[in-house]
Amino acid sequence: MKLHSLILMTLAMTRVYNSPGQTVKPEVFAPGIISGPVNDAAPAFMPDGKTVYFHRSSSTLGVILVSHWKKGRWSQPEITSFSGRWSDIEPTIAPDGSFMIFASNRPTTPDGKALNGCWNGQHYPQGGGNLWRVDRKGDGWGEPHRLPDVINSDSSIFSPAITTNGSLYFMKPVADTGKFHIYRCEYRNGSFESPAPVPFSAADTISDVDCAVAPDESFMIFCSRRPPAKKMELFYVSRINGKWGEPVDMGSDLIPSYCNEARLSADQRTLYFSSGYIPSTTYPTDTAVTREALRRSAWETGAANIWFIPLDRWHKNR
């Protein structure tokens, strides 16, 4: 599919309309279908943009779902063929659509137990994660296999991002503080080299998490409370001539609540992220406003919904 056609389709599927001089506010992605009453996050699109994988989670749930764009709307999500037994989250699709990598608390051995997690000085029983790969098999998927120990060097490895050349970004906690840093693992001659933290993610007192990386590594968007952020906010950083620049806060007013799980559309023109933001109500109101709020209450519960916003403004500043 040509890039121009893919962009037009993406706009139609996410209902983004950007008029000259108009500030575009984030919108909820497929409310009541993909954004539901529990936590939804990390949309990963197949290259044609017509299939999306994402995770749905709660205190006792973690599963990867799939939805398809059919007849002008997204289909009701279904559990993927390889998910449903363990806590599987944060899917990401290779740029060519040939495989997926996701985080899971699956045991490292066939007879093992679910992984425990530990970060920020806290322990999370059965809340750990390693990265797993599953390859595309025709119209379906094969069996997942765990990535090598050079990547899964800890029981709290999360949030993968795949580049065109097969290199992998992910986050893991630093041993002395437990704060998450973003790492890059070069893929060379059929194997992964030792991972290294990206240069701007090296302050042990700050957690940088949930990176969304362009396939050509020309830019990254990640989540952090680093200054000047007052909460978990989104940061944009460009990579020029192989060197990362300084991250720029995308704005505390982007959404008046926390943000996490940054992700990109198939054409890299739209940013997705999750937030539990609920618009406030001013009283007195009227029946029409209340009726709309009642309709939204089926999915607007305070749990994380998936939001989106076009990236044109930030791309122009590159």
Give the three-class secondary structure for 149: coil
User: Do residues 275 and 237 touch, judged by C-beta distance below 8 A?
Assistant: no
pLDDT for the residue numbered 23: 59
Digit-coded pLDDT (tens) for 104-147: 999 999 899 999 999 988 999 999 999 999 999 998 999 999 99
- Kindly tell me if the per-residue pLDDT of 17 is higher than 60: no
User: Taking Cα atoms as reference points, which of 253, 156, 167 lies closest to residue 207?
Assistant: 156
pLDDT for the residue numbered 52: 98
Cα–Cα distance for residue pair 246/134, rounded to 1 Å: 34
User: Taking Cα atoms as reference points, which of 252, 254, 250, 255 lies closest to residue 276?
Assistant: 255
DSSP 234-286: EEEEEEETTEE---EE--TTSSSS--EEEEE-TTS-EEEEEE-------SS--
Tell me phi and psi for residue 137, to 5 degrees.
Answer: -125, 95
User: Do residues 231 and 273 touch, judged by C-beta distance below 8 A?
Assistant: no
Domain boundaries, the chain: 26-316
What are the helix (H) ranges across 102-217?
none
Cα–Cα distance for residue pair 257/157, rounded to 1 Å: 25
Cα–Cα distance for residue pair 307/230, rounded to 1 Å: 20
Secondary structure tally for the chain: helices H, strands E: 3, 27
* CATH node for 26-316: 2.120.10.30
pTM of the model: 0.90
Looking at every residue in the chain, the average pLDDT score rounds to 89
Q: Which two tokens stand for residue 16?
A: 């983004």
- Kindly tell me if the per-residue pLDDT of 278 is higher than 80: yes
Give the three-class secondary structure for 209: strand
Mean pLDDT along residues 17-44:
80
Cα–Cα distance for residue pair 214/239, rounded to 1 Å: 10
- Kindly tell me if the per-residue pLDDT of 293 is higher than 90: no
pLDDT for the residue numbered 286: 86
Least confident of 12-21, 78-87, 215-224, 243-252: 12-21
AA identity, residue 132: W
Mean pLDDT along residues 254-276:
92
Mean pLDDT along residues 231-237:
94
- Kindly tell me if the per-residue pLDDT of 9 is higher than 60: no
